[in-house]
Structure 1
Amino acid sequence: MHPSLLLLLLSLLILLPFSAASPPPFQRYPLPSARRSTIPPQTQIEVTRPLPFDALTPACTLPLFNHTFAHTSGLPPSAANYSAPLNCTWSNAVLHFSAAANGTQVDRIAAVWLAGAELLRTSTPESTPDGVSWSFTKDVTRFSALLSRKNLSLSVMLENTVDEFYTGAFDVNITFLFYNIKNSSIHNRRSLNSSPRKIIRNQRRQSAAINASLELDQIPADLIIPVSAAGEEGYWFKIQTGNDAVYQGIQIPNNTYRAVIEVFVSAHGDDEFWYTNPPDFYIESNGLNITLGHGVYREVLVTLDDNVVGSVLPFPVIYTGGINPLFWDPIVAIGAFNLPSYEIELTPFLGILLDDKKHYFGFGVADAISFWLVDANLHLWLDDGPVKVQAGPIKYKNPNNCVERESSFAQLNGKFETEGERKTEFSGWVYSSAGNLTTSVTTKLEFENEINYKSNGTIVKVEHEVKVKKQIQISLPSSGTVASFSVESKYPLELKTTSVAGSGPDNYLVSTELEVSYQEEKKIDHFQSKLTNKQECSGWMFVHGEDVLSGAGATSQTYTVKDSLGCYSRKVSADEGAVVSDNENFLCSAGVVSGSSA
């Protein structure tokens, strides 16, 4: 990722009190080295729930990738040959990512692909001459169809710049851990062998077909097809404007009985903090010399043959240089190491796809400015029985969205409100060895954003919230609903920034308060779960010209998940670059979600 803005609000705060001849906006710069030199380098962490099999010994371990990313700007991804481990029976797979850097460096975006399918999107911490290190794991069992193969290319993209100022290089290691989970209380999955195997046994076909429509991790797909770019500059598509549209033609096997597209997306450059962007008319009216703008509404659209079949309102992942870089040392922002992917059920559209022809999957980002990185994986479940798979549509509700905007401003003071909503309803039938199953998918997306500028633009407050409701039902003509899945998620963000002019030219004291969270409630038949992940941050920066000279940041995070398999909570606080408290609990308290594993 080329150096983007240090933070959108900081650029506005610097520019707003001035005319169009103001100095250029701040760019992203590393942590002040004077601050870090007094603190021993620490391991950076992203707070999340440990994987259920972390305490188990892997059935086999595959160290695969070791590379130093120095000056890699403009170069293709680095690659290694992947083959599944021999003589290893496994049911679950984990990607272990570890890295370190020495020298001054800003955060960079990175991704890992296997045969062109994205396994992981991540970002790096900022680094000073004192160095930085970090590691994390990701459950990649959903990619079993790829991980069980041999002679595939594992590609890693980390576009880094090394020069007289940015001196840091990133040493990256990737290892795959394979586990054989026999205890169904940990996870109800079948064992896989490294050799090609049949995913679905005939005697289990109907049960598997039904349960497969619940979550990708329960019964992984039989085939994964990447929907991605050529790979010379990474396998992601780069979207520069709201008018950009990218496509890939794919013909799927005619024995497919279920399809899901998994979308990876990240925002960069002028749109990195899209949820704080002012409208263009505000910028033009005040003669501001900034490239940010186009308002706050962004929606990632997924199309099939130019028809919208789903969309994503992205979670606002904050990279480690964002808002105030001192917030994210050593606790990084939610999703910074493991950016979320988004799943869209395409089974109702198999009536279109199962015609032995190529169909075009496309992506766009509504109202985007430069730039967004988007790609996807198409997960397909195949029927290996004697029955010819047939499919047809039942219902397609045109997924029109509604966006309303209100504004009121006088010079640099003003208030801007944006609300958006999209509701989709799709259903279709699939006749396979499992019977005649109807899959119905209902999704509702809601968006609210309000930006207030006060005190001649030196005080900026942003309130941003997205709500997502999704429900999937599978039914048989004879017995009605046989399986269901529902999830409700919400991710609010509140941000307040105040700037005060310093005694000298181009000197500013900027104080910031931030609260961001991800909340999710999920139901899969009798299985229920509830997740709350919340961060609260406060701090200040003293800025001269384009340099952050000094500052402070404090972050507290509460992560709580309760489900039918147990509970986990962790509360961590950091101040001045050091963890001051860290409490972890695996015990359930009152109000635990009840139920049994599906």
Structure 2
Amino acid sequence: MLALFILVLFQLINSGCIASPATLVSQSLGESDVESGVVESPLGVFEVQAPLRTSYDGASCQQVVLQHTFAASYGTLYIGTYAPPKDCEFTTTIFNLSVTSSGINYDRLGLIFFGDTEIWRTTTAMPVRTGIFWNYQKDMTIYDTLLRSDQKVIMSLDNLYDSVFTGAYNVTITALYYNDPQTVTPADLILPISTQSSAQNESSVISLPDSNANVSFTLPRNSKRAVVSVLASGNGAEEFWYRNVPTEFTSTFNNTVLYGYSPFREVQVLIDGELAGVGWPFPVIFTGGISPGLWVPIVGVHTYDLPSFEVDISPWLGILCDGKPHSFEVKVVGYDSRTVFGTVGSNWWVSGAIFVWKDEGGNQTTGTTIQSISSEPSFQLMPRITGSTNSSTNTSFEVHLSAQRTLSHTSIITTSSGSQNLTWSQTLSYSSINNYTALGFNKTISALTNGTSTFSPSLDDASPIRSTFSYPITFHTASLTPTDATTANSTIVASLDRSLLSSSIPILSYLTSPFKLPTVLATRQTGNSVYYWNDTYYEFAGAIDPAMGTYGATEQWFSSLGKVGAYGRHVKAVDGYEPVLVLNQEYNSPIDVPDTKLAGIAEVLL
């Protein structure tokens, strides 16, 4: 497979479909740079995103929120302050994240808090000696109530920095404020689900399952809407949770290459111990994930802005507005074939926030008894182990796992403005086929997660608002480790095909600035990569450095239609001697996005 990939790569170069290394340098730097002998230039490493505005010109004002270099920053936080702009009228706020780095380093996770509330979770690209840079824009208008008051800014980006790991991350966040002609009704109150440690100049993120994510708040008696937003991402043993196996099969090959707790994860939101809603997480792949050669210069979906999920808890307001404290908890669970739900490995970093809108009349909100459906998911597990005919050694393991869940909560909520039937419902399905060969070192994963949610709009509109998502993913990794990794190269061969498809009206965006047309998104990434390293080069240092021998090709289709308009983009990149974008086409219209191929999922599990 390695030889085949290299052969195909050279055939594409010779055929003209992919430029030769000299041509790639010319395309990325310009002819004059090549002629003058200048062949080193910072590389733009980007995530494809739809523009948040038709133009970023015309800001009422702007200011730097954060500027800091994260070098030897393990356990050392950035602590700063934010003050709202003076003499500046604005309705919309956009943060621009700008990062530069040069040298050698891993990908890093960044968490940005205003006080105890996490407002942005991001990861980095992996730097190269000649340098990289990226920019990313995030609409922060849902945090308007925080943006209009003084805040302590805390950012963590744990980074190694020494004679081997020479890549520091220079981070700047700039706030752009716009006075758009739109009605904005931001939350009156944002309550953090976190450790609430900002007073001690510490990050407020919670590590699960080692800690617990349970807080208690007394909501205003006149609350009329309430939404919980949750950020949750797997790290350490949980970074690749979607390729894990049910715990009872972790010893299938008598080695440590299989992690447990299954390839299924559910993030739960509980109120007073009762399940209010869930998230079935999107498989974010960091730029060191699967194979680093896949992510230069095109990074993965949600790399620079890890996704949150929302649960409308408005049907609970009849209970929550009684003037008493109530508990709000976030849990992460996996599938355990013996007890349905079980714990997970270490670790998941989680935080959340409760967004509360108050009724202007001031009367206490009341509600009827909540009508709920929240039974546990139904699972189907089909394992198959193949053993060697000449010994008792297991040679391959294939596991099929599927799950379905339906939940809903409905009640009639009454405020001084009137009564409304409020509903939050979810329907989710999950299917995966995970195949492990070569004593578990080679993995082929195919998985499909689908979901639909509905919530009730404003009082004067009775039509429920429906959002859908689907994220298929399939990838293969094959590892070859020599007997002596100090004298010969180890090799990872990887291929990937995954998509994110959605038609959504986020609850927080809708309640902040009502807009009932959904944002329709379709994007697909495919790629192949061959990656070499050996232990004389300090394990994995220099993962995308040409000296280490990384060869990859990535392609992405992106199509969106939403409030700002239509946008399409088709990009291709080759990562070899010089990572280069060989195709970059943008459109002011949606484009056709091919389907991700999921072998066997539809036939076997759905």
Pairwise TM-score range, normalised by the shorter structure: 0.7 to 0.9
- The sequence identity of aligned pairs, in percent, is 26
Q: CA deviation at 1:457?
A: 4.3
| CA deviation after TM superposition for structure 1 residue 283, in Å | 3.0
Task: Report the counterpart of residue 211 of structure 1 in structure 2.
Answer: none
Distance (Å, rounded) in 1 between the aligned partners of 2:314 and 2:64: 36
Letter in 1 for 2:226: A
Partners of 2:559 and 2:592 within 8 A in 1: no
Cα 1:366/1:458, change in 2 over 3 Å: closer
Unaligned runs of 5+ in 1: 1-36, 183-187, 191-218, 592-598
CA contact 1:453–1:460 (8 Å) conserved in 2: yes
CA distance in 2, matches of 1:383, 1:360: 22
- Give the letter aligned to residue 195 of structure 2: A
What is the one-letter code of the residue matched to 1:444? T
> Is the deviation greater in 49-58 or in 500-509?
500-509
Give the corresponding residue for 1:484: 464
Give the equivalent residue in structure 2 for 1:68. Answer: 69
Q: Which segment is superposed worse, 465-474 or 133-142?
A: 465-474
Aligned pair partner of 1:440 in 417, 423, 431: 423
* Alignment-derived partner of residue 183 in structure 2: 189
1:518 aligns with 2:500: yes
Q: CA separation in 1, counterparts of 2:167 and 2:93?
A: 31
Mapped to 1, the partners of 2:237 and 2:592 lie a distance apart of 45
- 1:498 equivalent to 2:500? Answer no
Separation in 2 of the partners of 1:70 and 1:252? 41
| Equivalence for 1:240 | 209
Tell me, yes or no, if structure 1 residue 139 matches structure 2 residue 121: no
Runs of at least 5 residues in structure 2 that lack an aligned partner in the other structure: 1-37, 335-343, 387-393, 594-606
Specify whether residues 164 and 290 from structure 1 end up closer, same or farther in structure 2 by C-alpha distance, changes over 3 A only. Answer: farther
> What's the TM-score, normalizing by structure 2?
0.80
**1:45 counterpart SS class:** coil
Structure 1 pair 270–291 and aligned structure 2 pair: CA distance change class (3 A): farther
Could you tell me which of 522, 542, 556 is aligned with 1:532? 522
Which of 299-308 and 426-435 deviates more? Answer: 426-435
Deviation at 1:526, TM superposition (A): 5.9
**Quick check: 231-240 or 325-334, which moved more?**
231-240
After superposition, the Cα gap between the structure-2 partners of 1:580 and 1:589, relative to the gap in structure 1 and judged at 3 Å, is closer
Matched, 1:379 2:330: no
Structure 2 distance, partners of 1:445, 1:274, is 18
Alpha-carbon distance in 1 for matches of 2:191, 2:395 = 49
Shift of 1:474: 4.9
Deviation at 1:503, TM superposition (A): 9.2
* Shift of residue 441, structure 1, vs aligned partner: 1.5
Q: Deviations over 1:338-393 (max 9, x none)?
A: 11110100000111111111111111111310111000011100112254432333
In 2, the alpha carbon distance for the partners of 1:400 and 1:280 equals 19
Whole-angstrom distance in 2 between the partners of 1:589 and 1:245:
44
Q: State how far apart, in whole Å, the 2-side matches of 1:390 and 1:50 are.
A: 41
SS of residue in 2 equivalent to 1:482: coil
Q: Which residue of 2 aligns with 1:58?
A: 59
Q: What's 2:7 paired with?
A: none
Q: Are 2:159 and 1:225 equivalent residues in the alignment?
A: no
Look up the match of 2:585.
583
SS of the residue aligned with 1:285?
Answer: coil
The whole-number CA distance in structure 1 between the counterparts of 2:102 and 2:214 is: 39
Instruction: Report the more deviating stretch, 278-287 or 45-54.
Output: 278-287
Contact 1:308 1:399 in 2 (8 A): no
- Asked whether the 8 Å contact 1:101–1:171 carries over to 2, the reply is yes
Go from structure 1 to structure 2 and tell me whether the alpha carbon gap of 1:61 and 1:590 turns closer, same or farther (over 3 Å shift): same
Whether 2:99 is the aligned partner of 1:99: answer: yes
In the alignment, the residues of structure 2 paired with residue 285 and residue 140 of structure 1 have an alpha-carbon distance, to the nearest angstrom, of 47
The change in CA–CA distance for 1:568 and 1:515 in structure 2 (over 3 A counts) is: same
**Is the contact made by 1:440 and 1:474 (CA closer than 8 Å) also made in structure 2?**
no
Partner deviation per Cα, 1:476-525 (whole Å, 9 max, x = no partner): 7xx9x623210110011100123456697664433211011110023699
Distance 1:522 1:172, change over 3 A: closer
Matched with 2:179 is: 180
CA contact (8 A) 1:94 1:176 kept: yes
Name the counterpart of 2:47: 46
1:350/1:392 contact within 8 Å kept: no
Please name the residue that 1:273 is paired with.
240
CA separation of 1:399/1:234 partners in 2, compared to 1, >3 Å: closer, same or farther? Answer: farther
- Provide the residue aligned with 1:334 in structure 2: 301
Contact 2:319 2:366 in 1 (8 A): no
Distance 1:247 1:564 in 2: 36
AA aligned to 2:384 is S
Change (3 A) 1:532 1:418: same
> Residues of 2 paired with 1:398 and 1:289: CA distance?
36
Contact kept in structure 1, 2:567 and 2:589, CA below 8 Å:
yes
SS in 2 for 1:165: coil
Count of paired positions: 516
Distance in 2 (CA, whole Å) between partners of 1:588 and 1:347 is 35
Aligned partner letter, 1:487: S
- For residues 23-42 of structure 1, the C-alpha deviation after alignment (integer angstroms, 9 at most, x for no partner) is xxxxxxxxxxxxxx976321
Q: Does 1:313 find its partner at 2:303?
A: no
Amino acid at match of 1:82: Y
1:166-192 C-alpha deviation (Å, 9 max, x unpaired)? 22221111111100112xxxxx434xx
Match of 2:48, SS state, is coil
8 Å contact from structure 2 (residues 569, 591) kept in 1: no
Shift of the 590–541 alpha-carbon distance from structure 1 to 2, 3 Å rule, reads: closer
Change (3 A) 1:377 1:53: farther
Q: Aligned-pair distance for 1:154?
A: 1.5
Change (3 A) 1:104 1:189: same
1:129 and 2:121 correspond: no
**Greater CA deviation, 361-370 or 258-267?**
361-370
Q: What amino acid does structure 2 have at the position aligned with 1:517?
A: S
Q: CA RMSD in A?
A: 2.5
Change (3 A) 1:482 1:83: same
Whether contact under 8 Å (1:261, 1:377) holds in the other structure is yes
Instruction: Find 2:218's aligned residue among 251, 260, 265.
Output: 251
CA deviation map 1:16-59 (0-9, x unaligned): xxxxxxxxxxxxxxxxxxxxx97632121110100125333100
Give me the whole-angstrom Cα distance separating, in 2, the residues matched to 1:133 and 1:378. 34
- 1:420-440 Cα shifts (integer Å, max 9, x gaps): 122111012221233101111
* Structure with a larger share of its residues in helix: 2
User: Please, which moves more after superposition, 159-168 or 363-372?
Assistant: 159-168
Q: How does 1:339-354 map to 2 (within 5 A)?
A: 339-354=306-321
Q: Is the 8 A contact 1:348 1:393 kept in 2?
A: no
The one-letter amino acid of 2:161's match is V
Give, in whole Å, the separation in 2 of the partners of 1:155 and 1:530.
Answer: 33
Distance in 1 (CA, whole Å) between partners of 2:319 and 2:378 is 27
1:130, 1:559 → 2: CA distance?
A: 29
Give 1:453 deviation, angstroms. 2.3
Q: 1:472 to 1:230 in 2, by over 3 A?
A: closer
CA deviation map 1:128-184 (0-9, x unaligned): 3322221111000011111112x22121111112233222221111111100112xx
Distance 1:427 1:582, change over 3 A: same
Q: 1:246 Cα deviation (Å)?
A: 2.2
> Counterpart of 1:43 in structure 2: which amino acid?
G
Q: Report the TM-score when normalising by structure 1.
A: 0.81
Secondary structure in 1 matching 2:463: strand
Match for 1:445: what amino acid?
L
* Higher mean C-alpha displacement, 560-569 vs 318-327: 560-569
Cα 1:349–1:507, aligned 2, differ >3 Å: closer, same or farther?
A: same
